[in-house]
Chains A and B, each alone.
Chain A
Amino acid sequence: MSHEEVIPPEYSFYLGCVIPNRYPFVEQATRNVMNELGVRLKDMEGASCCPAPGVFRSFDIPTWLTIGARNVSIAEENKADIMTMCNGCYGTLLEVNHQLTHDEQKRTFVNEQLKKIDRKFAGSVKVKHLAEVLYKDLGINTIRDAVTRTLGGLKCAVHYGCHLTKPSEIRPWDGECEDPKFFDELVEVLGCESVAYRDKQMCCGAGGGVRSAIKEVSLDFTRHKLEMMREAGAECIVVMCPFCMLQLDLGQIEVNGIFKDEISGPFAFPVFYYTQLLGLAMGMHPNELGLIKRHDLKGVPPYVNQEPLLTQIFQKLGYDYKQLQKQSVKAVS
């Protein structure tokens, strides 16, 4: 037994659009944390938009299937299962992979298209969400063991996001989608408290092309969620989807504007991606986790100021936010 060599787990790292192009600190945090956990990530050279299930699938299903299959084929060349950090990308790639593995007619159609660009869908890889990789592949106990310091009972409003758990039939959560627990457990092993709030499983409002076409409606979803989080006494929001992150982060600023007269006061919940907090609890430096702002660019994420809450959290961990920021700016320039 002891002679067996331990092969590090390896995944094709699917980036999508919103993380690399708008929330790059999530990419940074995830790359560093997975490295620290001993997971190898292989880039998917030339991968495109998944394409987004709410919009592009709504316009033309065959195009959605084909471009999705092209992305899967890149992972097949990598010979490693896909790991995605986005619920939307998960929704598309999982569904495409499932449909094409189980329906010969669709597979033939898609492969006729892919032939034109010298590619092929074979059905040889699985599609996994980061949550599944952490909770099931590595295992919650591995995560628990990797945690070296506690985040001091930070009150987190955990937002799962719809496509992480639904449709439940082809997802790995034993059919649970009304009251799942895995994300709460992942948050609580960091020494945080996952607060219970009403309509926790409700959609953030961004999906289905609603944000892109009818923003006011999508923000009314968000307004409701934020009110419920406030009622429960949350200090911050934790997500595992960049589109939910965008909606809950930038959306807060927008809600504070258009629903000014209807809300109980302006919202200011910092929104963190799970790997940012995980890394912190694993003893990693905030600079590796995209937690320190070291640029003076305007109109870029995170839109809700994270500094006040981070200053508090850092104090307990023995860091000084202002000082870290000064040092890292120096290091960059």
Chain B
Amino acid sequence: MRKVFSRTRNCETYMENIKRSRINHVSSEISDEIVADDLELIRSCFQCGTCTGSCPSGRRTALRTRSVIRKALLGIDQVLDDPDIWLCSTCYTCFERCPRKVPVTDIIIKLRNLATQKGRILTPHKALTHLLIDTGHGVPINEKKWSDLRESYDLNPLPPTVHSSPKAVKEIQTLVNSLEFDKLVEYKPPEKDSKKEESKKEESLKSADEKPMRKSRKIMVKK
């Protein structure tokens, strides 16, 4: 039976030649995490740069995919703090073109998971996760005009999704809670009435004191 990423499995014979002992000196906590997630072909990267050359984001930003992969393999922690890993639009062009079948895009996604665990999730992204937990949709109907728009095209004001089923929203919340995703993205359930106002005040005081650790770095857009 073909396993998850058959592209990784197809290369088993030559993977045998890339023995752990041979590349032990470049193994790191980060690369171990990546390898543990079925992405062991990161070790076969020979730094040719096809990924960087194919990258539509790298053409206009500081993202250098080849360098991201190298840093991940060498375990240079800074790669997780680097905002560049969030510039990938996950178009999978590098993934398709890599002559060594390195699943580049999936590795970047894995790095983002590790970065999120370090609290490096970007603020707008965190807000999106809260929408998902509150409504079950990443892009919900949160204004009347959206249900009015549906009606103008002869559709029910709410689609037959989580929007029509409070039970379904509960199911999402149960899963999110059980997987501790809510903790990961610092989600707090909406509180009721008077309590809400107070906690809002506290919140704003808090956030004034605790500035996020993230370095602000301007992203270059080439002209």
CA distance A168 to B97 in the complex (A): 11
Interface size on B, residues (CB 8 A): 71
Asked if A166 and B145 sit within 8 Å, CB to CB, the answer is no
A17 to B138, CA, bound (A): 7
**Total A-B pairs in contact (CB under 8 Å)?**
225
**CB pair B161 A58 closer than 8 Å:** no
- Tier of interface size on chain A: 35 or more
A59 near B178 with CB under 8 A, answer no
Nearest chain B CB to A240 CB, angstrom units: 16
Q: Which of B106-160 contact A (CB under 8 A)?
A: 109-110, 112-113, 116, 121-125, 128-129, 132, 136-141, 145-146, 148-150, 152-155, 159-160
From A226-234, A249-257, A292-300, the one touching the partner chain is A292-300
- Could you tell me the distance in whole angstroms from the C-beta of A72 to the nearest C-beta in chain B? 14
Residue B196 interfacial (CB < 8 Å)? no
B154 and chain A: residue at smallest CB distance: A28
Most buried by A among B152, B179, B181, B223: B152
CB–CB A49/B145 < 8 A: no
Per a CB cutoff under 8 Å, which of A25, A47, A52, A56 touches B162? A47
- Cβ of B200 within 8 Å of any chain A Cβ, yes or no, is no
Measured between beta carbons, the chain B residues less than 8 angstroms from A168 are 96
Residues of A close to B121: CB separation below 8 A: 59
* Minimum CB distance partner of A178 in chain B: B96
Is A59 touching B116 in the complex (CB atoms < 8 A)? Answer: yes
- The B155-172 residues at the A interface (CB cut-off 8 A) are 155, 159-165, 167-168, 171-172
Closest to A47 in B: B161
B96 touches A177 (CB 8 A): yes
**Complex alpha-carbon distance, A99 and B150, angstroms:** 35
B-chain residues with CB within 8 Å of residue A207 when the two chains form the complex: 89-91
| A27 surroundings in chain B (CB, below 8 A) | 153, 155, 159
Tell me if A58 and B112 are in contact (CB < 8 A).
yes
Most buried by B among A54, A113, A210, A213: A213
A77 within 8 A of B: no
- Picked from B89, B113, B179, the residue with its CB within 8 Å of the CB of A205 is B89
Q: Which B193-223 residues sit within 8 Å CB-CB of chain A?
A: 219, 221, 223
Determine whether A43 belongs to the interface, using a CB cutoff of 8 Å to chain B. Answer: yes
State whether B89 touches A59 (Cβ < 8 A): no
B48 sits at the interface (CB 8 A): no
Is A214 a contact partner of B113 (Cβ separation < 8 A)? no
**0/1 per residue, A268-311, Cβ < 8 Å to B?**
00000000000000000000001000110111100000000000
- How far is the CB of A107 from the nearest CB of chain B, in Å? 11
The answer to whether residues A297 and B125 also contact, given A61-B110, A262-B223 and a CB cut-off of 8 A, is no
Question: Are A59 and B184 neighbours in the complex by a CB distance under 8 Å?
Answer: yes
Task: Please give me the residue from chain B that is nearest to A112 by CB atom.
Answer: B178
Contact, CB under 8 Å: B92 / A167:
yes
CB-CB under 8 A for A56 and B179, given A46-B165, A47-B162, A216-B221:
no
Instruction: State the CA gap A299–B144 with chains docked (Å).
Output: 12
Q: Please give, as numbers and ranges, the residues of chain A lying within 8 Å of B35 by CB-CB distance.
A: none
Residues of A within 8 A of B138 (CB): 17, 49, 51-52, 55-56
Interface residues of A (CB under 8 A from B): 15, 17-18, 20-22, 24-25, 27-28, 43-49, 51-63, 66-67, 70, 98-99, 102-103, 106, 113-114, 116-117, 119, 162-163, 166-169, 177-178, 201-203, 205-210, 212-214, 216-218, 220-221, 262, 290, 294-295, 297-300, 332
Seed contacts A43-B160, A58-B90; 17 additional CB < 8 Å A-B pairs? A17-B137, A46-B162, A47-B162, A47-B168, A51-B138, A56-B132, A60-B113, A113-B179, A203-B93, A205-B89, A210-B87, A212-B124, A213-B86, A216-B221, A220-B60, A295-B152, A297-B149
